[in-house]
Chains A and B, each alone.
Chain A
Amino acid sequence: MAGLTGSRRRGGGAGWLAAAPLLVVTLIAFGIPAVVLVVGAFSVKGGGFGFENLSATMREPYIGALWSSVKLSAVVAIGGAVLGAFLAQAVLTSRSGLLREAVLTASGVLANFGGVPLAFIWIATLGNSGVVTAALGLGSGVLYNFWGLALVYLYFSVPLMVLVIAPALDGLKPQWREAALNNGASTWQFWRHVGIPVLGPALLGGGVLLFGGAFAAYATAAAMVGASVPLVTLQIADALTGNVLIGYENIALALSLDMIVIALLVMAVYLPLQKRSSRWLA
């Protein structure tokens, strides 16, 4: 027994050794920046630590930017989750294997399509001099506002949702639906009592992912709307680069800390549900 315990201990040690490269990379890529960020967020002008920077982020213009980012991310998360789930369900239940493959492949490409190129595509399409704007006579300012930005974010968020939700939809057994029908349920009752509760955590997980993607996005918004839509990532960039005022670097770090807290709150809701869902769909 003692030998067995010893061998287990040795096995555990070897396991940690194998994980060492990952742990080192994690430490360098996430640990050190996180420490710098937290220390900076609490460092006040003139030396020492305090809550001045964090307090400042709770006032205008930063609180407005934070709120605007949360609203935009929520709209993109909810819209993207709903549209992506419907699209994925439609594609997965279609009889065409080719359509399924085509949509999933396209989703893989489009989900990674962001940044300045995406902004320029939309500017060329729906910007003030965009092709569609001119063709339909839409006038100016269609794209350069909150909803225009949401539309552009949905362009990569919906495909991302398709990729995230497709395995969960595949895990939904046809027998559950048939069993529900056999028990007298309508299609809607099946989705209400079984389908949506089973998929709920996966849908929520996808929503969290979309929320995080939209919350952290910077380049697309910077290229498209500049300061006309206040977003926390744009505020951080301004503070770090001294675009408006200099000496606000620590405010930027405090804003980043705010973002981390918001992301953690969202994850705290998601993780327990995800754990339950993975058991159902196993």
Chain B
Amino acid sequence: MTVELRELHRSFGGTVALDGLSLTIEQGELIAFLGPSGCGKTTALRCVAGFERPDTGAVFIDGADVTRVPANRRDAGMVFQSYSLFPNLNVRDNVAFGLRVRRRPASERHDRAAELLELVGLGGFGERYPHQLSGGQQQRVALARALALQPKVLLLDEPLSALDAKVRVNLREEIRRLQLELGITTIFVTHDQEEALSVADRVAVLKSGRLEQVAPPAEVYDRPATPFVAEFVGTMNHLPGRVSGETVEVFGQTLPLDGAAPGVEVDVLVRPEAVRVTPSADGRGFILASSFRGSIARLRVQLDGGGEVLADVPGHEAVRLAPGLKVDVTLVERPVLTAPRTAVAAPVEPVA
């Protein structure tokens, strides 16, 4: 089933949550809505679920306009950010809730609940109550409940944000496995870029209610469409550069521009893995700090002229490239994005 958001506008008082958002999600696709708080990602999801009605614009599910269809008549299963299991019902009855309100026979409800609980790895937990489960288990039950009615669309509203790191990683892989197994069209809202990049077929980056870029994860990371995307997804260095025609000069190198430059004096946006660090007695800086991360080590290089640069080097070079070492910094030859000039060279760490 496809989902189409067409020119959605939604304001709350004077705050614009959605500002002409248009997007089509293909059958069986898992798309992640990624963006900072207040970017409109949850509002967009709630418009699909039917909990919000857009001021203007329309939502189509499988070609049918559902903009004015009440939430309880939309064919969309949803998992909420906070644990939303009904506390007075046990796990089995939570999962079978939708079937119960549809007056399906008890045997069918129990069979379906058991089947789904097996699917999410909680077979045998049917008699427990929500307060007897961990956070991760509760979200698995919520996932089973959302799938119980075999919805056309699965909506996930930051379902992992309340969980600890290890459970989060396990559960997101579980969600992806289930999504692929069931082939269900899925919208996954998150502010965690790692989460979005690791599970989604495509990532939609939102800012101020507008779509900045929608593309496969690798493209969003490697070829960010805008400076905002470049800064929001992954870590980005801001290096002072000077534009000349279709190229920009930075650290004595001339690199081709990716897109239009905002001026002559600009910041060149470069990822840490595109920065090369080599020991050099007359280099342009020295290593301020080194953070070992297994396969890579992230170096923080203090530039002589002021400012800092982050560089990722293979992990085995961490011993050789120790803090205090004088080094030279060069950039990998590839087209680069630019942004309006800031004061000094500085890395921008990811928001989440």
Contacts and interface: CB of A to CB of B under 8 A. Distances in A.
Interface in B48-103: 49-51, 70-73, 76-78, 80, 82, 84-89, 97-98, 100-102
A178 B98 contact: no
Contact of B149 (A173, A176, A183): A183
A185 B145 contact: no
A179 B145 contact: yes
Interface stretch (A34-42, A150-158, A190-198, A223-231): A190-198
B82 A175 contact: yes
19 contacts: A175-B82, A176-B86, A176-B87, A178-B51, A178-B78, A178-B80, A179-B80, A180-B101, A181-B70, A183-B77, A183-B97, A183-B148, A184-B72, A184-B98, A184-B102, A184-B149, A185-B98, A197-B88, A279-B131
Interface string A167-179: 0000001011011
A186 interface: yes
A51 interface: no
B66 to A, nearest CB: 13
Interface in A195-228: 197-198
Contacts of A173: 82, 84
Contacts of A279: 87, 131
A182 interface: yes
B101 A182 contact: no
B229 to A, nearest CB: 31
Contacts of A180: 72, 86, 97, 101
Given A194-B88, A198-B87, 11 more contacts: A178-B78, A178-B80, A179-B145, A180-B97, A181-B72, A183-B72, A183-B98, A183-B148, A184-B98, A184-B149, A281-B87
A186 B82 contact: no
A25 B85 CA distance: 44
A185 B84 contact: no
B90 to A, nearest CB: 12
B101 A189 contact: yes
A147 interface: no
B239 interface: no
Contacts of B149: 183-184
A182 B78 contact: yes
A182 B73 contact: no
A280 B84 CA distance: 12
The 7 closest A-B pairs by CB, nearest first: A183-B98, A175-B84, A280-B87, A181-B71, A197-B88, A185-B101, A179-B84
A269 B222 CA distance: 65
A61 B72 CA distance: 57
B143 interface: no
